[in-house]
Structure 1
Amino acid sequence: MSETTKKNHIALDLLAFVLLSFIAYILQDFLIPLLFAIILSVLIYPIVHYFESKLYFNRIVSITIAITFFVIMAFAVFTLMGFQFQEIVGKSDTYYEQIEKKINPILVQTEKSTGIDRKDVLNDEQLEIKEIAKQNSTGIMDFIATSGSILGDFILTPLYMFLFLLYRNFLVSFIYKATAKSCSRTKIRNILSDFYKVQQNYLLGLLIVMSIVGVLNSLGLLLLGIEHAFFFGFLASLLLLIPYIGILIGSLLPALIALATKDSYWYSIGVIGIFGFIQFLEGNFITPKITGSKVSLNVFASILSLILFSMLWGIPGMILALPLTASLKVIFDNSEKLKPIGFLLGGVQEKYFSNKAKNRLKIWKKIRAKNLKK
């Protein structure tokens, strides 16, 4: 292949990428519910299969029961969270007064030290918590509902889920026919199997991790005596839908409540510290242990995908980033042309560490093994 031909291929690939991104952005209102439906269909498929194979229910009946149960559970969770949020907003005047009492001495000291008028720093009308909550409550509830795009669009997503599960055999046959000239049936079957395993592993692992993190968050807040501990604990765990930064965002509100209701600033610092520690445990021990290596994306690729999909689709894009990138990796790994990109997205193995790092890792493993034997 000549140099000119290679350059033309690169240009065409870049053009195709730009066009696909543009189409994805324009059609986001159509694509986002559709993608959530595909992912959630994978999640509830084992339930549908159980009803069909073990209880011998009709396929339509099995799908209807599974989706109805899922929607009711999700709706109940978000409704309870909505009521709890409204209760917190109702106490915002009290919280504001308490926070103001604690912040004023700091501002007075700052005014004496720097000469900056504290009125320029703290404007009661602008920073009143009740007003902030009222002005942003719609956005907050929209965010929760978007994170619940696991509910997605109340009509479209469950409808898409029903149709995907109903016509699943037909759709698989279509994929076989559409790829008959380029790939063997066996290879397509393996790719579809990898798709299913990646999504199933990610989703089930995410639900388990969210439950564990929600319990740990709640216990930490209970130990500190923070109000609404379970609400804040599981709200932060729900924000794990946004990888890496979700739980840290979820720590800000209970930290403010701690500042308002406790007699020391250390409670707020303690809340952030506990949530940060749980974030460390989740990222380094809980998620890798539960999710395993089937969603084998390295941290750099995960963060880049998070940024790119958030730029493309906002919050829904942040939620979809990891499962979509993991699915793309399956395609890249099975394409000779795109295999290097799949390799780039994958987990970094020990053999790619520097020699010094490898030696340190070996020494650490030996020491750890000796300690475990003792």
Structure 2
Amino acid sequence: MIELPVTVKRSLELLGLILAGALFVWGQTIIMPLLMAFFISLMLLPALRFFRKHKVPEAIAIFLPILLLFIAIGLIVWFFSSQIASLVADFPQIEKNVGKHLNELSGWIAKKFNYSVSEQLKFVDEQSNKLLSSTGAILGGAAGSVGDVLLFFGLIPIYIYLILLYKDLLLRFVFMWFDPPQHKNVEEGMRAAESIIKSYLIGLLIQITYITILLGGILFLFGIKHALLIGVIFAFLNLIPYLGALIGNVIGVLITLASSTEILPIFIVLGAIAFVQFLDNNILMPRIVGSKVKINALAAIVGVILAGTLAGISAMFLALPIIAVLKIIFDRSEQFKQWGVLLGDERPAQSPLKFPSFRNKKSTDKPTTQEKL
């Protein structure tokens, strides 16, 4: 076999990344439902095995976990809708509070920047006209988005059922890509990926539940209006690594501003979110998920932003498990091991500039005797 030069190998790797990104963008309407269905299927595997162990026919054993999942999703949607309805019911008071906050903001701008109220109103009027002129395009895009969402969630249960039904066929397809001596390594990789994804996704479901209850409960005890709605929104946005928590803070403050004329509730909301985040990041989530998903913060943030840019919000939610699966594949491939190092959080004990042993693909956790000397 002809050994390719290193520069050619790296060029082919980068070309492969570009082609994969382009394929992801062009085929996202097909790829994203399949990816989501694949990850959900892994999460439902224990339930399927439980039903099969108790002699339930295969078709019913596959259908029951899917039915239970969508009942749970339906209850979440109902709960969220009821909270939104409560917010809408307070609209007259919200309108009054927003008007008060805007007047105070307008007065502050006029005082600090010598920008009169009439000039501010003129600016707002101009921006409103621009916004209204593009309403037709926005509504047309929204209609298309609704259609895409309905198609997306209509395909997912079908994909989940078929993936679970043909799981053995898919496994055989994967094994046939590799020579028999590599099958043990492939099996270890697949079992590791299944374990990590199940642990991560089930952990996220538990995380949504306790953040909603904990944050909503704390805010409710302090008398914050729409406490449960803030808790639900923050819990779901927190699924987007790093960026979601920031957006959740902003939305929590905006809802509180719209519901109250006081400043103190804003600090209560920010303090409660910070407290819940501290518990989640340092105590609760590490115990639930463990240390199995070892992705460094830089790779996670870049992956989330890149996924959102390529394939929208749904890809941002799936970014971390996708990166985790890629790391498992890279770690078990001698050719792509350096990419696994890039995604992981295992920092070398010393700088590779000073200690050559840390430049190798083989892992090492301390300098060699010669380097110490």
Return closer, same or farther for 1:105/1:164 CA change in 2, 3 Å cut-off: closer
184-193 or 111-120: bigger deviation:
111-120
Q: SS at the partner of 1:153?
A: helix
Closer/same/farther in 2, CA of residues 240 and 261 from structure 1, 3 Å limit: closer
Query: Could you tell me which residue of structure 2 aligns to residue 359 of structure 1?
Result: none
Q: Which moved more, 1:309-318 or 1:319-328?
A: 309-318
Correspondence for 2:98: 99
Matches of 2:311 and 2:110 in 1, distance apart? Answer: 43
Q: CA deviation at 1:77?
A: 1.3
Q: Which residue number corresponds to residue 155 of structure 1?
A: 154
Q: Distance in 2 between matches of 1:331 and 1:352?
A: 26
8 A Cα contact 2:303 2:319, kept in partner: yes
Q: Structure 2, unaligned stretches of length 5 or more?
A: 352-373
What whole-Å deviation, never above 9, does each CA across 1:200-254 have from its counterpart, x for those lacking one?
Answer: 1111111122222222211221133122212221221011221112233223344
Q: Distance in 2 between matches of 1:138 and 1:275?
A: 37
2:369 corresponds in structure 1 to none
In 1, the alpha carbon distance for the partners of 2:20 and 2:320 equals: 18
What secondary structure, in the 3-state scheme, does the structure 1 residue paired with 2:152 have?
A: coil
The CA distance in 2 between the partners of 1:28 and 1:174, in whole Å, is 23
Q: Deviations over 1:14-59 (max 9, x none)?
A: 2122111111111100000000000000111111111110x21011
CA RMSD of aligned residues (A): 3.4
Q: 1:349 to 1:334 in 2, by over 3 A?
A: same
TM-score (norm 1): 0.81
1:277 lines up with 2:267 in the alignment: no
1:188 aligns with 2:186: yes
| % same residue | 30
Equivalence map 1:211-222=2 (5 Å):
211-222=209-220
1:43 aligns with 2:47: no
Q: Which residue of 2 aligns with 1:315?
A: 313
Match of 2:364 in 1: none
How many pairs align?
344
- 2:63 is matched with 64
TM-score with structure 2 setting the length:
0.81
Instruction: Give distance in 2, aligned partners of 1:294 and 1:43.
Output: 16
Displacement after TM superposition at 1:3 (Å): 11
Structure 1 CA distance, aligned partners of 2:2 and 2:168? 44
Change (3 A) 1:216 1:137: farther
Instruction: Judge conservation of contact 2:80–2:232 (CA < 8 Å) in 1.
Output: no
Q: Taking structure 1 as reference, are residues 185 and 4 closer, same or farther at Cα in structure 2, changes over 3 Å only?
A: closer
Amino acid at match of 2:27: L
Structure 1 residue runs without a partner (length 5+): 354-374
The answer on whether the counterparts of 2:328 and 2:340 sit within 8 Å (CA) in structure 1 is yes
Pairwise mapping of residues 1-374 of structure 1 onto structure 2 (< 5 A)?
Answer: 5-53=5-53, 55-121=54-120, 123=124, 153-180=152-179, 184-348=182-346, 351=349
Query: Is the 1:217–1:233 contact (alpha carbons within 8 Å) kept by the matching residues of 2?
Result: yes
| Cα shift readout 1:121-144 (whole Å, capped 9, x = no counterpart) | 4648979xxx9xx99999999999
Contact 1:95 1:257 in 2 (8 A): no
Q: 1:15 to 1:109 in 2, by over 3 A?
A: closer
Change (3 A) 1:343 1:350: closer
Q: Is the 8 A contact 1:48 1:62 kept in 2?
A: yes
CA contact (8 A) 1:78 1:144 kept: no
| Cα pair 2:304 2:316 within 8 Å, conserved | yes
> Residue 90 of structure 1: CA displacement?
4.3
Q: Partner amino acid for 1:158?
A: P
Cα-to-partner distance string for 1:116-172 (whole Å, 9 max, x where unaligned) = 113444648979xxx9xx9999999999999xx8x9823211111111111112221
Seen in structure 2, the aligned counterparts of structure 1 residues 352 and 100 have a Cα distance that, compared at 3 Å, is farther
Equivalent-residue separation in structure 2 for 1:173 and 1:109 (angstroms): 68
Q: Distance in 2 between matches of 1:137 and 1:81?
A: 24
For 1:140 and 1:77, the matched residues in 2 are separated by 23
SS at match of 2:295: coil
Aligned residues of 2:29 and 2:152 also touching (Cα < 8 A): no
Q: 2 CA distance for matches of 1:124 and 1:281?
A: 45
The 3 A distance-change label for structure 1 pair 125 and 223 is: farther
Moved more, 159-168 or 1-10: 1-10
SS in structure 2 of the partner of residue 293 of structure 1: coil
Contact 2:94 2:258 in 1 (8 A): yes
Q: Is the 8 A contact 1:258 1:268 kept in 2?
A: yes
| Equivalent residues of 1:52, 1:59 under 8 A apart | yes
Deviation at 1:179, TM superposition (A): 1.7
After superposition, give the CA deviation of every residue in 1:179-202 in whole Å (9 maximum; x if it has no partner). 236x52211211110110110111
Secondary structure of 2:340 counterpart: helix
Contact 2:296 2:345 in 1 (8 A): yes
* CA contact 2:243–2:301 (8 Å) conserved in 1: no
- 301 and 277 in structure 1: CA distance in 2 versus 1, 3 angstrom threshold: same
Give, as a single letter, the amino acid of the residue that structure 2 aligns with 1:36. Answer: M
Measure, in 2, the Cα distance between the counterparts of 1:141 and 1:270.
38
